[in-house]
Amino acid sequence: MQSVHKFVSKAHKWIGLLIAAQVLFWTGSGLFMSIVPIETVRSEHTIAEAAPVALDAGMLPAGIRFQKLEAVAPLGTPLVLVTDAGGAQFLLDPATGQQVPSFSAEEIISIARHAFRGEPGAPEAVLFDTEPGDYRGSLPVWQVSMGDEGGTRLYVDPASGRIKARRSDVWRVYDFLWMLHIMDYDTRDDFNHPLLMVAAGSAFLFTITGIVLLFYRFRRRDFGLKARRR
């Protein structure tokens, strides 16, 4: 029994040394995720209510082949978002039947202001052809920095004027801790990679050896029981 105790104690010590930092990351990030509501992370409190837009068949000129039609109003004026047979999207003006030209930076800022509930500072818009650090999605995309206290950035689809993502300082902290939590330092969405498996397996062994050591550490007096006399 003494040799088993020594072996388990040594294994527990070395495994703990190897995974101590990751266990700290797991517990710290988990604590943050349990305290901060996911609605706050998603910036749902900054979503401005938009009036519903009805889709009228008369909005679409005759002869257009499409997969999907949607009524949108990114700037308050009803438009038709057309998804064609190839999956490409474009906007049509129902009043003229003409395709709406690409939004300018000023119009993108107006769209972001219209979709934002809060007190923006001086919003700035930048068009990205590669993924910015806090956005992972289809490209190109407009990034509008709202200049508010929360560091909010809205990502706007150039084709439809829709808000594709909302990011904030809280989201960026959450994303960083999520990266540490799942140990995916690239795309931050892979749960099934070898590094995480090894770390989780090591943590499991650390827990098992710790439970075994409890058997050796506790005495009858710890439970208020007297040792038996021989």
Share of the chain above pLDDT 90, in %: 58
Q: Tell me: the pLDDT tens digits for 97-108?
A: 788 999 999 999
Bridge partners (DSSP) of residue 144 are 125, 154
Q: Tell me: the pLDDT tens digits for 57-107?
A: 565 666 667 788 888 889 888 888 988 888 888 898 887 878 899 999 999
E strands, the chain, are 68-72, 79-83, 89-93, 98-99, 124-128, 141-145, 153-156, 163-167
What distance in Å separates the CA atoms of residue 214 and residue 211, rounded to the nearest whole number?
Answer: 5
Lowest-confidence region among 32-36, 99-103, 175-179: 99-103
**91-104: b or e for each residue (b if 16 or more CB lie within 10 Å)?**
bbbbeeeeebeebe
Give the number of other CB atoms < 10 A from CB of residue 122.
8
Rounded-to-5 percentages of helix, strand, coil across the chain: 40, 15, 40
